[in-house]
Structure 1
Amino acid sequence: MAREKKHRSRGRRSPLAAAALIGAGLLLTGGVYAGASAAMASTSDAQTAASTELTVEDGQKLFTANCATCHGLNLEGTDEGPSLIGVGELSVEFQLATGRMPLQMQGPQAPQKPVQFTDAQIRAMAAYVQSVAPGPGYPEDWVTAGKTNPENAKDEVDIANGAELFRINCAMCHNVAAAGGALTEGKYAPALTSTSALHIYAAMVTGPQNMPVFGDMNLSTEDKRDIIAALVWQQETVPIGGFTLGSLGPVSEGLFIWIFGIGALVALTVWITAKSN
């Protein structure tokens, strides 16, 4: 009698098994990718942290490569640029962090432009200049933060006093609304509507370009703090009274009236004349 051959039953594979297999593959691939990304990110962060810790020697190298052509290898200055002996780290930070230096071209005044160095590079070059020939340094935090002087608890921040001091000492060039203004021979006083507290202080202490130096005999540290607090308050306050028109006073207001006011009267006169005809 012939033995019957048993055939193995071939059933259909469940669709859930395929979906589970695909899901497991995606999870495995995602896990490997996430681990690799985290490792690369940690390495990148470590490299970034290492690159931000620049030394005075790094600042010297940056200065030699970017500044020595005009200011000299020893900060002595040349025919193309002034000496930096005694200007201090605060002046270097101001000039580099506002994009005024390196100078793009000779002119009546160095304009602001995009910054070409990182904060760490700027600090390193400023530290190098300070190490060679010291000058004005960075202020204490309470000065630029508009806080009370910790050495004198009775001395509180006075924004009204700062605004008055600004009108007396600065408004003739920078405009009473800190909108800037024109000077002689193509020079100008820049607007202070977006200038940082540190750079306002640096300008008062170092006197860049056409600005005079305000020493402690002219304005005390507390007075400088009040001026900074008043300007920062003005930057953060929403202007009231309608359009500012550039905060240029009678000039822009008169131009606005001349163009739109008289223009509207002329248009109305022409319309009335056309109707009468």
Structure 2
Amino acid sequence: MSSIAARRRHPAALLVVLLLGLVMVGGLYAVFAPKSADASAASAGAVASEDKVSQGKQLFLANCASCHGSAAAGGPNGPSLVGVGAAAVDFQVGTGRMPMQQPGVQAGRNMPQMDPKQTAALAAYVASLGDGPGVPSKQYTEGGGNVAKGGELFRVNCAMCHNFAGSGGALTRGKYAPSLMNVSGKHMYEAMVTGPQSMPVFNDSNLSPQDKQDIISFLKYLESEPAQGGHNMGSLGPVADGLFAWTIFIGLLIGAAVWLGKKAA
């Protein structure tokens, strides 16, 4: 008993008792204290995210697995989707290119087969398979950039395929660069960061987010501006316009010459 009493009188005994008391109080508070609003919101967000990924997986198995494989690792008829990111899914599905209705050299823009919620769920599932570009924020996709700089960047990086006015053009082996008119800024941005089909990837090292915003602003400017010279004939360029004029007007002149020759005879 004398040894126990001696320990109780030790100078460190009080400190040890206080530490044990603090540990017990902290543990009990962590167990029984009500959760804060932020913690509850974070927990609810995690559950919602898990539900979205689960829903996206079911949509993937029903609509995409036949080409891309049940684990999205790719197959004979479709590439791997591991690491492509949510932006690639949002672009392909949101523009109606995927699910592809029938095999072809290129998937064209069509009516979307999934609504925005289904598209978001499918994108969340594919994003969970590996890191990749995410869906861009509205800050860079709704215009408001430098139109003049955007035009310069577009002519340097995009016009050789999409035409100087963004009306599209032919590529090799039956492929084509689609028209960029009446395309949402979000889908333009997603195409630049994911490089769908024959298009190269323009990451932030090639074109910064501000550069992409400027290009989108330039295209939206072209879309809203009227043709100052009258009918633009599809904005196909001077060669196509010259061919049209030669075919129509020279043809009319030849026809008039033949008619006059027959009348004179």
Paired letter, 1:140:
S
2:164 to 157, 176, 193: 176
Please report how far the alpha carbon of residue 193 of structure 1 lies from its aligned counterpart in structure 2 after TM superposition.
1.2
Please report how far the alpha carbon of residue 274 of structure 1 lies from its aligned counterpart in structure 2 after TM superposition.
4.1
1:100 to 97, 100, 103: 97
Q: Tell me, yes or no, if structure 1 residue 268 matches structure 2 residue 256.
A: yes
Aligned length: 215
1:85 to 82, 85, 89: 82
Alignment-derived partner of residue 177 in structure 2: 189
Distance (whole Å) between structure 2 residues aligned to residue 104 and residue 132 of structure 1: 25
Is residue 67–residue 76 contact of structure 2 (8 Å, CA) maintained in 1?
yes
Alignment-derived partner of residue 213 in structure 2: 225
TM-score, scaled relative to structure 2: 0.77
Alignment-derived partner of residue 147 in structure 2: 159
Q: How does 1:1-277 map to 2 (within 5 A)?
A: 55-147=52-144, 157-277=145-265
Structure 2 SS opposite 1:252: helix
Is residue 246–residue 252 contact of structure 1 (8 Å, CA) maintained in 2?
no
Distance (whole Å) between structure 1 residues aligned to residue 85 and residue 63 of structure 2: 18
Please report how far the alpha carbon of residue 272 of structure 1 lies from its aligned counterpart in structure 2 after TM superposition.
2.7
Please report how far the alpha carbon of residue 228 of structure 1 lies from its aligned counterpart in structure 2 after TM superposition.
0.5
TM-score, scaled relative to structure 1: 0.74
CA deviation map 1:6-35 (0-9, x unaligned): xxxxxxxxxxxxxxxxxxxxxxxxxxxxxx
Is residue 90–residue 135 contact of structure 2 (8 Å, CA) maintained in 1?
no
Structure 1 SS opposite 2:217: helix
Please report how far the alpha carbon of residue 141 of structure 1 lies from its aligned counterpart in structure 2 after TM superposition.
1.5
Distance (whole Å) between structure 1 residues aligned to residue 129 and residue 224 of structure 2: 39
Distance (whole Å) between structure 2 residues aligned to residue 99 and residue 255 of structure 1: 34
Distance (whole Å) between structure 2 residues aligned to residue 271 and residue 78 of structure 1: 64
Please report how far the alpha carbon of residue 276 of structure 1 lies from its aligned counterpart in structure 2 after TM superposition.
2.9
Please report how far the alpha carbon of residue 128 of structure 1 lies from its aligned counterpart in structure 2 after TM superposition.
1.2
CA deviation map 1:216-259 (0-9, x unaligned): 11111110000001001111111211221121113421331222
Structure 2 SS opposite 1:55: helix
Please report how far the alpha carbon of residue 101 of structure 1 lies from its aligned counterpart in structure 2 after TM superposition.
0.9
